[in-house]
Structure 1
Amino acid sequence: MAIFENFPAFLLIFVRIASFFVTLPLFSYRTMPNILKIGLSFFLAWITFFAINAPVLEINGQYFMLIIKEALVGLLVGFIAYVIMSAIQIAGGFIDFQMGFAMANVIDPQTGAQSPIMGQFLYTFALLLMLGLNAHHLLIDGIYYSYQFVPLGELSFGLGQESTTEFVVKIFNAMFIVAFQMAIPVVGSLFLVDIALGIVARTVPQFNIFVVGLPIKIVVSFIMLFLVMGALFGIMQKIIEMMIRTMRSLLELLGGM
């Protein structure tokens, strides 16, 4: 079979796809068994091998550098997608800070790291929305079309270019801007509540504002979340679209296009 005759090329494809799943949202989580990730990577590498007409490669000194290059491409593209989706958890962190839930972090079973309560709440909805929109198909489609931008067997790619570094910095900047836009309705309303509570505390000193302040802020937060949930889903959809576009733009930069 052709795959055994050109096994080095198949191995490079497998390394890129497996590395892609290491950092990609949804596919990289601990709740997905490792055997499933490896099997899915192998199956997609098998399909991609015959779809892209892989060149014949030899195992030599340059081949080991190609393995490192393929791993870096997969990890970086998946990491950029993860950074974009992290804007939702950052927005939840802003909301938690104003609600008084900043100390009550929970362990995210998907990543094993601490996560804000509202951030995990919104992030779960975002993952369900991504599945409902079939965006995970576009993520897998992106790794297939990555071979059009970063060809197999070429050692050079634009990782160290100034344009790539500037692009990554802009993505981090956009992540915080989107997170602030998601959180501003709830955070803004809680800021007004703080002003009102401050006025009450000054005008009625006998009123124990610390006892009633936290429950009021929690109730207002949930009311605002209920009112703006439709808009939040719209922003989540824009974030998913932004994630797809960002992956493509990064691949174009890595490919020198």
Structure 2
Amino acid sequence: MFARIGSVLMLAPGWGEQSIPVRFRLSAALLAVFALAPGLMSDLPLQPADFGQGIFLVIGEVLIGLMLGAAARMFMAAASVAGQVTAMHTGLGFAMQLDPMQQAQGNVLSAFFSLIAVVLVLSAGVHRWMLQGAVDSYILFPVGQYPNMADVAEYGTRAFVEAFRLGLQIAAPAIAFGLIFNLALGLAARLIPQIQIFFIALPSSIMIGLVVVMIGMGAGFMTWLNGFDRFLMTGGGG
């Protein structure tokens, strides 16, 4: 049980953030196993006859847990991708800082969007959905049976496509703004060659772009959260 549930929670949104100490994540997974064990004991097989069978069971449980956790982690990466695309279209692509969620250097909007995604996950209870999903997985994937690799590949592909689509939807207002703004600058440069277009473009792009992001961010993240919920409820089935 710890192999599967622990693997899910080490990657699950809210539970498996890089900023959370590993010991705390392991302790949370262990406590979750203790709490869920009474209801799941009937789904567990008998003790393996030898060490080889035990290793076979543990590896299968870890793979199932990583599959479920990694699919959810892709949706968290969608927020970071949306931030990078938004920063590129608003002129903030070179404004870098430490992203506490990724534990790596990233642009300002990518770090901000990642923090917003974590707040939404915790406030909407997605971290509890992941725990419920780990429990329900014992019905779909009984202990001792490896999942079909073709189904796993399809599940991962759907998660990647859906996460990328939602990331672009979050960044859609900034993409539209960037296209219109750059087209207007190009026309202005052709019609009035004397103006210093660079000194006008960058401050205006940042100022107007932030206003566009502020207006469209709420709807974008609600779409992302609803898509995340739909994917978890349907298991990637659309």
- Shared fold (TM-score, shorter chain, > 0.5): yes
1:144 aligned to 2:135? yes
Tell me: CA distance 1:200–1:116, structure 2 relative to 1, closer, same or farther (3 Å). same
After the TM superposition, list the runs of 4 or more consecutive aligned residues in structure 1 that deviate by more than 4 angstroms.
none
Partner of 1:51: 39
Counterpart residue identity of residue 181, structure 2: V
Deviation at 1:72, TM superposition (A): 0.9
Shift of residue 184, structure 1, vs aligned partner: 1.6
Quick check: 1:18–1:41 contact (8 Å CA) kept in 2? Answer: yes
Fraction of identical pairs, as percent: 25
Residue 24 (1) aligns with residue 15 (2): no
- Alpha-carbon deviations, 1:98-140, whole Å to 9, x = none? 1222233332223313333212212222221221122211111
* 2:13–2:126 CA contact under 8 A, matched in 1: no
- Cα distance in structure 2, aligned partners of 1:148 and 1:82: 22
CA distance in 2, matches of 1:186, 1:90: 13
- What corresponds to 1:5 in structure 2? none
The answer for the alignment partner of 1:102 in structure 2 is: 93
For the pair 1:220 / 2:208, whether they are aligned, the reply is: yes
CA distance in 2, matches of 1:122, 1:103: 16
Which sections of structure 1, spanning at least 5 residues, go unmatched?
A: 1-12, 251-257
Deviates more, 1:167-176 or 1:188-197: 167-176
Q: Which among 209, 234, 239 is matched to residue 222 of structure 2?
A: 234
| Structure 1 residues 45 and 221: alpha-carbon distance in aligned structure 2, compared to 1, 3 A threshold | same
Contact 2:14 2:122 in 1 (8 A): no
Deviations 1:165-194 (A, max 9, x none): 233223222222222222121211121111
Residue 33 of structure 1: how far off its partner (Å): 2.3
Q: Which amino acid aligns with 1:215?
A: P
Helix, strand or coil for the counterpart of 1:107? strand
Q: Which range moved further: 165-174 or 185-194?
A: 165-174
Tell me the TM-score normalized by structure 1: 0.83
TM-score normalised by the chain length of structure 2? 0.89
Report the Cα distance in structure 2 between the residues aligned to 1:243 and 1:83, rounded to whole angstroms.
12
User: 1:185 and 2:173 equivalent?
Assistant: yes
1:131 maps onto 2:118 in alignment: no
Give the structure 2 partner of residue 4 of structure 1: none
Corresponding residue for 2:63? 72
Counterpart CA distance in 1 for 2:224 and 2:236 is: 20
- Distance in structure 1 (CA, Å) of the matches to 2:157 and 2:18: 28
Partner SS for 1:115: strand
Distance 1:172 1:32 in 2: 24
Give 2:27's aligned residue: 39
Is structure 2 residue 107 aligned with structure 1 residue 116? yes
The Cα offsets for residues 42-67 of structure 1, whole Å up to 9 and x where unpaired, read as 11112322211233212431110111
Q: 5 Å matches for 1:198-209?
A: 198-209=186-197
> Structure 2: how far apart are the matches of 1:80 and 1:241?
13
Gaps of 5+ in 2: none
Aligned equivalents of 2:221, 2:171: Cα separation in 1: 13
